[in-house]
Amino acid sequence: MTQPNVTTWRGYGKHEMLVDTNHDEASRIDFMMNLFKHMGSEIWPGHRKLYENKVEPAFKKAHGRKPKDRHEVREVMLDEEYFRLWSMLRVYAQENIYSERRNIVERQLDDLVARAKPRESDKGTVEIDPNFVAPRYQTNLDMHWMPGGYANEVTQDDVAAGAMYDTGGLYVSTGGMFGKYNNGAAYAVVAWIQENFPRLKPKRILDQGCTVGHNTLPYKDAWPDAEVIGIDIGGPGLRYAHRRAESLGYKVTFSQQNAEATKYEDESFDMVLSTMFLHETSNKAVYNIVKENRRLLKPGGLMLHVEQPPFEKIAEPFDQLMKDWDTHNNNEPFWGRMHDMDLEDVALRAGFKKSDIVQTFAPTVTPTESDKYNRGNGQWFMFAATK
Ligand SMILES: C[S@@+](CC[C@H](N)C(=O)[O-])C[C@H]1O[C@@H](n2cnc3c(N)ncnc32)[C@H](O)[C@@H]1O
């Protein structure tokens, strides 16, 4: 079994924007990471036992059939203390790690803001639009309980949201499974593209919803001569991403834009990509984004969005419910609806041909020092189309 290569916060990938943490802060981050792992490995499996041994038999007895979908499973699981307790603990853990991260970032925010400022020696650029209006599906809530979400700015040239995101966010909740730079998703994208489209040699790549660029920079590793651009609606993440990329030696452009309607010309990209992005938008936005993607692609170009699998690809209603947890508990209201969407219809309406649309699974990647493409145990869902 492949094991994640980082198991403590002190082992997290260093760069110039990374916050300083004292002993207690680092210990608390490690405690939360281990709590998430414990919940996943020790408590989570109890749900299946409970469901198979008690909840499903009781449902069958009462209705003469099994629950038909995740909504019916949820209704009966909500009566179970074990399920409710697990949910409460998971929400507590999420809120707790955010309040920890917020304190860490706040006490050094002035310093982080100063560090992020563009310098003459920079290779790449960051473009912030002073008149930018972020979409309401992002500004109307604190996405996955992140205080202020991605777009909120609390100070001049703010980087707080970016710093909070990178201070043990996904790293804590996934137990380091995406590697010490949190970039395993992009290496999974690269591996899949190189295997399935070996002749594609992109000159220009767009990464949408790039946040702090975790999964933007690996595209430069894979295709060093390509121009790589990361866009996002959140200025704080982009400023942070810029300095992070510079200090790690990458030349990338980060730009504040809405992926639904970008400033780029028709047919100006060879690849338009995203990782863990679509589920944080809206139904209408997904249609707009895919349409915009087709407009941006050169003939022969590739669109690829990486997500969790749609519910229709998950056979058992119980497993569907467990994948739907974030909709009800993690302040991610579009999560469930997005995973119910007919993505083929989305791509067809954007103008892609049926024969050019791909929906498939690909292995996760946990990069290690010696192998950036080290395959993990999990699976990503790939929604792709060529023009
Ligand atoms: C879960 S994060 C994505 C993480 C990132 N792709 C990664 O792999 O590390 C979702 C990101 O999408 C951004 N976002 C949401 N709606 C957007 C839009 N319409 N256009 C561009 N970015 C958007 C958010 O600001 C946030 O940074």
DSSP string, 216-260: TTHHHHHSTTSEEEEEES-HHHHHHHHHHHHHTT---EEEE--TT
In this prediction, residue 6 has a pLDDT band, given cuts at 50, 70 and 90, of low
Q: Which positions ≥6 away from 179 have C-beta within 8 Å?
A: 4, 5, 6, 13, 187, 365, 366, 367, 368
Residue 160: domain span: 1-387
Q: How far apart are CA 173 and CA 220, in angstroms?
A: 26
What average pLDDT score do residues 341-362 get?
A: 97
CATH of the domain at 314: 3.40.50.150
Closest approach atom of ligand 1 to CA 182: 9
Q: What is the pLDDT of residue 242?
A: 98
Count other C-beta atoms under 10 Å from residue 271's C-beta.
26
Q: What is the pLDDT of residue 174?
A: 83
Q: How far apart are CA 233 and CA 256, in angstroms?
A: 5
272: part of which helix (H) or strand (E)?
strand 269-275
Retrieve residue 295's tokens.
């407009």
How many structural domains compose the chain?
A: 1
Q: What is the pLDDT of residue 4?
A: 46
Closest Cα to residue 169, out of 27, 9, 278, 5? 9
Residue 37 has pLDDT above 90, yes or no: no
What average pLDDT score do residues 13-20 get?
A: 96
- For the chain, give the mean pLDDT: 94
Closest approach atom of ligand 1 to CA 285: 19
Q: What is the pLDDT of residue 283?
A: 97
Q: Between the ranges 12-16, 85-89, 230-234, where is the mean pLDDT highest? A: 230-234
Q: What is the whole-number distance in angstroms between the Cα of residue 189 and the centre of ligand 1?
A: 16
Share of the chain above pLDDT 70, in %: 98
Closest approach atom of ligand 1 to CA 289: 19
Q: How far apart are CA 120 and CA 96, in angstroms?
A: 39
Per-residue pLDDT reduced to its tens digit, 180-222 = 999 999 999 999 999 999 999 999 999 999 999 999 999 999 9
Q: Which positions ≥6 away from 183 have C-beta within 8 Å?
A: 214, 215, 217, 218, 367
Q: What is the pLDDT of residue 82?
A: 96
Nearest C-alpha to atom 13 of ligand 1 is from which residue?
A: 209
Per-residue pLDDT reduced to its tens digit, 124-171 = 999 999 999 999 999 999 988 888 899 999 899 999 999 999 997 778
Residue 1 has pLDDT above 60, yes or no: no
Per-residue pLDDT reduced to its tens digit, 95-131 = 988 899 999 999 999 999 999 999 999 999 999 999 9
Residue 328 has pLDDT above 80, yes or no: yes
Q: How far apart are CA 85 and CA 91, in angstroms?
A: 10
Residue 366 has pLDDT above 60, yes or no: yes
Q: What is the pLDDT of residue 2?
A: 42
pTM of the model: 0.95
Pocket of ligand 1 (CB under 6 A): 135, 138, 150, 185, 208-211, 214-215, 231-234, 237, 258-260, 275-277, 280-281, 285
In this prediction, residue 376 has a pLDDT band, given cuts at 50, 70 and 90, of confident
Which residue has tokens 């249609």?
287
